Amino acid sequence: MAKIAVIDYDMGNLHSACKGLEEAGATTHVTDRASELLSADAVVLPGVGAFDPAMQHLQARDLAPVIRDIIASGKPFLGICLGLHILFEGSEEGKEPGLGIFPGRVKRFQSEPNLTIPHMGWNQLQFTQPELALWGQLPSDPWVYFVHSYYVAPNDAALNAATVTHGSQTVTAAIAQNNVMAVQFHPEKSSTMGLQILANFVALVQQQQLVTAS
């Protein structure tokens, strides 16, 4: 059974993400201990809130270098919402530097007539990496649940795994590169589609376990 560590840094409800992963057959453990994160089969970085407090909490727990080491090790890694933002270099939302795993910054939606900010509610993904394992068994353009005023803008558009359109603006909804996947939306709030995405992540972790054991 896949052992998935969920990073605890006081930013959001971690247990809803755990519930979805457990329904998919994983064993989850919420922790901020480096040894437990490094020994897990995979790591999830969820988050709700603002960029600067998130980075300050991570730095206070000395977790920034641990996350970099986890990603460099090739261990499957999933970021959710704020857990996507902090993988980048910085944000218009604050002044703290991000983890800098990927080049690019977090930007705020530009105001336009009749555009609601935050972008809140159900919207459709447009896959830009349709072959990604995270999207397995999903229909084209699935509906998922968003709550955000800021979005990531990678320097390299090839990093995008999915986009979403809000008003006239089409922005990053998910990224993927090698062992790292991260999503702007909340799979734990996205009903059947979200549970399938979490199940796909668990299946990917289990597949890597088999490869490592062989």
Catalytic sites, residue numbers: 81, 186, 188
Q: Are 34 and 40 in contact (CB under 8 A)?
A: no
Residue listed under structure tokens 């990678």: 154
For 167, left (φ over 0), alpha (ψ -120 to 50), or beta? Answer: left
Q: Please, are residues 22 and 28 in contact by the beta-carbon 8 Å criterion? A: yes
Write the CB contacts of 1 (distance below 8 Å, at least 6 apart in sequence). Answer: 25, 26, 27
Residue-by-residue DSSP string for 143-196: EEEEEESEEEEESSGGGEEEEEEETTEEEEEEEEETTEEEESS-GGGSHHHHHH
DSSP-assigned beta bridge partners for residue 123: 144
**Residue 91 β-bridge partners:** 106
